[in-house]
Amino acid sequence: MGKLINNTRAFASPSKYIQGEGEINNLKEYSSKYGDKPYILMDSFIYNTLKEKIDTIYENSAIIDKFTGEICTEEIERIEDLLRYKDVNVVIGIGGGKTVDTAKVVATKLNTPVIVVPTAASTDAPTSALSVIYTKEGVHSGLEFHKANPNLVLLDSDIIKDAPVRLLVSGMGDALATYFEARACFESNSANFVGNGYKPTLAGMAIAKTCFETLIEDGLKAKISCEHKVNSEALENIIEANTLLSGLGFENTGCAASHGLHDALTVLPETNAYYHGEKVAFGVLCELILENRSKEEIDKVLDFCFEIGLPITLEDIGITDSSREYLMKVAEEAMNIFLYQNEKVNITKEMVYSSMIMADTYGKNKKNQNNIIKLTV
């Protein structure tokens, strides 16, 4: 979004957020307030598991479609063709970040309300008024902004606790960036994602900070809860942190180098096997190094990532070639990512390259230290 040109501040959010056990059973009741002819886009990972239940809830009256797996021009055009002669007045996205982002795009094109139903707390995409667009090969290609945030974000904690633990942990990686990127945008006087380059609000900053504090306090407990497929207050807190706190935080304060590195990493095909939040988590370490933050803060983030299983080395995100020539592909792509402009100092490709090497070394040292401790116990 670039540097601020005025001091007008703005805050955006979904109209309603509901989170709790068994809430998927109330989906028809909620959606009927927005429209009675739903198009439902479902993630392929949960299509076979949930389709029968959703059909029953809507008494077979909804158009239920399976998401192909990538939010790209081809997928959006496929859905447009499918709905060209259909009478649809509400769009519902059920699934992961790319599925719900696609639902938002479709709702914008149809000019209908949109309801977002995440089936994992793996990303902060659900609450925002934007969608991240990729090519069909998975390379980041841009953002699409919508005129409004979702009308309703609905999370069923029972579904989320049964989702793969890796998705919850990835969501914590995405949420981990929220406070640090908010701080970077605030310090650099950069715009948030609300409309026409508005200034971050104090509310947005407070939410971003609370997001980080919640991760540190409840992250490991929530992971253990999810591993055993049981609910807990800690898990509910992390679901909210990953989804609502992180979503409101990033949209109302902005993003910076952590997500910038994620976007640049998409030029390396091997990183596409890793989740958004996993790559963002490594990006957080790189951002803190770019900003020359205190060793104490870097260690705190490193310890958190290591404790819950987020990537802390290049190899953790699939990169085994750490040669300068290879990593410079990422650094050069970073110069095309506008998020790096939200840092307080001018970022060069050499700085991005150095941050990756230094973060990788920090991570390797952390793993080596842990191995030594295990051997001496």
- Active-site positions read 174, 259, 262, 276
**By C-alpha distance, which of 225, 228, 282 is closest to 257?**
282
Beta bridge partners of 176: none
Beta bridge partners of 320: none
- Please give the Cα distance from 137 to 122 (Å, whole number): 21
